[in-house]
Amino acid sequence: MKAYFRQSMAWLHTWGCLVAGWLLFFIFLLGTATVFHIEISRWMQPERPLDAPPMQPVDRATALAHALDYLEQHAAGQSRWDIYLPHERHRHRQEKRALLAVGWRGDLRGQADLDPHTGAEVPRLAVRDTEGGRAFLELHSELHYLGEGLGKRIVAAAALLGLLGLVTGVIVHKKIFQDFFTFRPGKGQRSWLDAHNVAGVMALPFFVMIIYSGLVYFDRESLPAPVAVAYGTSQGAVGRYYTELLHREQRHLPVQRPKAPLMAMVEQAERTLGTGEVGQITITHPAGQPLQVRMRRPYGSELPRHETPETEFRFDAATGALLTTPALGPGIRLRFVMLTLHDGWFARPMLLWLYVLSGLLGCFMIATGMVLWVVKRRDRHARRGDAPWGVELVARLNVGMLAGLLLGMAAFFWANRLLPVGLEGRAAWEIHGLFAVWLVAIVYGLLRPEKRAWVEVLSLAALAFGLVPLLNALTTDRHLGVTLPAGDGGLAGFDLSMLALALLLGAAAWRLRRKWFGAAMRRNTP
């Protein structure tokens, strides 16, 4: 540590971010992809139909009767019934939003899609085995191969270092907001610092929110000691913690068909929520309380998504009388707000794209920071006349860890189209493909000359992303020639995003090639 405060903060910023930099880049990049994980999943299962046209009016009273009939027949004796009415904001059920859906929990779990007009069960589509966009959810939060517990703890530690890096970065760069308006290209270390500062300032509130809310998401992993002291370390300790935290009832009785008409309850709830806004109905029977019917908008479609007297309505299933929805304390309400902001489920398309843009700026900030660490030390050691192996190792690893991860993501999508549909463990092999290509890129970056490796890996990543739409067209009938005329923004948007990424990475590779090898190219040109 240094003698002065800003020097100490600079030391913390430099070494804390170096330790966590590559992992934070991994978390930010894959976390950014989770914003459109539903659309990614649809693309990775081309057997699913094109996006449904605008919903036709549904007689909700009839649909509710069909749902209750089905649940009585198939889920009798279970402790929870869920009914999902057709609703435009069921984003997590996008490919079947015009259907009526039911689910149940208890001794058994199950779900089914029903025709809202006839009540007939709609068979589930036979689709290829893939994790789809859910893979990015799990990868960026649990690191896949390390197991849920250890992976979450490592991610929480990296997030703590990332939050520390943001705070110390603002302290160290005392003119950071002034320097935001300054960019000096072609100035070596100064240019990298300017790029780092610009990316950091442009989405600084987003970075603070997304990292802090991630820590709140994994409160037990980031701060495990309080829970262990208060509840112990036994197998049921975590369950007791969340039961008290969320005011959950510990025991539920089997549910049955409500005696009061559901449609009357829906109309009463929608006098506050708005006409047609009830999207999810839950029937439960907490021990010592009457059978209850809970109604709300589609889960995750609003901010915050937790239950409040303004967003969820509870009714006595026997009489239809409105019950009091228990108000959560300020701490747990803040927690739910943070989780909702982190997921972004409530956001409409424009805000989702702002999430993506901010996430990409975070990736750029981290990448430029890692490169800046190398550039600064190379300049310093060049003046001394030495070249420490540690700096060169970080420089070489930057190629594979940063550019190579992009290539690995492209390989993930290629694997989805090229692996045999009937392959056993197919979903796992898609993820194996990501890590295998990433590992090859890391080794490649260590063996090739650094500048050539940067240009070559970025060029290869650009080519891989750019060919994804062509590969899609050759292997499925869900290509741009079909999805654009059909107005399927989700599927068409994926292919167009692949082309945009290819152009971005190709421009970066071309810029580096021209900068580093332009003179040699001109000399060799006849």
Question: How do residues 406-453 score in pLDDT, each as one tens digit?
Answer: 999 999 999 999 999 989 999 999 999 999 999 999 999 999 999 999
φ/ψ of 293, rounded to 5, equals: -120, 120
Mean per-residue pLDDT for 73-88?
90
CA distances from 41 to 298, 421, 478, 491 (A): 20, 15, 13, 10
Mean per-residue pLDDT for 91-104?
72
Place of tokens 């405060």: 5
pLDDT for residue 103: 93
**Of 370 and 6, the one with more pLDDT:** 370
Mean per-residue pLDDT for 281-308?
85
Mean per-residue pLDDT for 122-150?
87
Given a cut of 90, is residue 3 above it in pLDDT? no
Judged on CB neighbours under 10 Å (0-12, 13-18, 19+), 71 is buried
Given a cut of 90, is residue 488 above it in pLDDT? no
Most confident among 167-176, 241-250, 304-313, 381-390 (mean pLDDT):
167-176
Given a cut of 80, is residue 91 above it in pLDDT? no
pLDDT for residue 515: 84
Written as six digits, the tokens of 50 are 């094109």
Given a cut of 90, is residue 194 above it in pLDDT? no
Query: Residue 261 has what DSSP assignment?
Result: -
Angle value at C-alpha 152, between 146 and 155, nearest 5 degrees: 100
Residues above pLDDT 90, as percent of the chain? 49
Mean per-residue pLDDT for 234-245?
72
Residues above pLDDT 70, as percent of the chain? 89
Torsion of CA 221, 225, 231, 234, to 10 degrees: 70
pLDDT for residue 185: 64
One-letter amino acid identity for 4?
Answer: Y
pLDDT band at 213 (very low <50, low <70, confident <90, very high): very high
Ordered by start, the domain boundaries in the chain are 1-44+130-226+329-384, 60-129+249-327, 388-515
Given a cut of 60, is residue 526 above it in pLDDT? no
Given a cut of 80, is residue 189 above it in pLDDT? no
The DSSP secondary structure of 465-511, one letter per residue, reads HHHHHHHHHHH-S-SHHHHHHHT-HHHHHHHHHHHHHHHHHHHHHHH
φ/ψ of 292, rounded to 5, equals: -120, 150
Cα radius of gyration (the chain): 26
Mean per-residue pLDDT for 223-251?
73
Query: What is the b/e burial string over 47-68, where b = at least 16 CB atoms within 10 angstroms of the residue's CB?
Result: ebebbeeeeeebebeebbebbb
Place of tokens 């927690």: 335
Torsion of CA 233, 235, 237, 242, to 10 degrees: 140
pLDDT band at 505 (very low <50, low <70, confident <90, very high): very high
Given a cut of 80, is residue 324 above it in pLDDT? yes
One-letter amino acid identity for 8?
Answer: S
Given a cut of 60, is residue 265 above it in pLDDT? yes
Q: Tell me which H or E stretch contains 315.
A: strand 312-316
Mean residue pLDDT across the chain: 86
Least confident of 124-133, 189-198, 249-258: 189-198
Mean per-residue pLDDT for 328-337?
81
pLDDT for residue 13: 80
Written as six digits, the tokens of 151 are 């992976």
pLDDT band at 309 (very low <50, low <70, confident <90, very high): low
Q: Name the pairing type of β-strands 80-84 and 280-284.
A: antiparallel
pLDDT for residue 51: 73
Q: What are the residues whose beta carbons fall under 8 Å from the beta carbon of 170, sequence distance 6 or more?
A: 176, 204
Question: How do residues 344-400 score in pLDDT, each as one tens digit?
Answer: 888 888 999 999 999 999 999 999 889 888 888 887 776 776 767 888 899 999 999
3-state secondary structure of 93: helix
| Listed residue (463, 508, 213, 207) closest to 360, CA to CA | 207
pLDDT band at 490 (very low <50, low <70, confident <90, very high): confident
pTM assigned to the model: 0.88
Spell out where 106-192 has E strands: 110-114, 121-122
**Of 218 and 357, the one with more pLDDT:** 357
Mean per-residue pLDDT for 324-329?
76
Least confident of 2-6, 21-25, 122-126, 322-326: 2-6
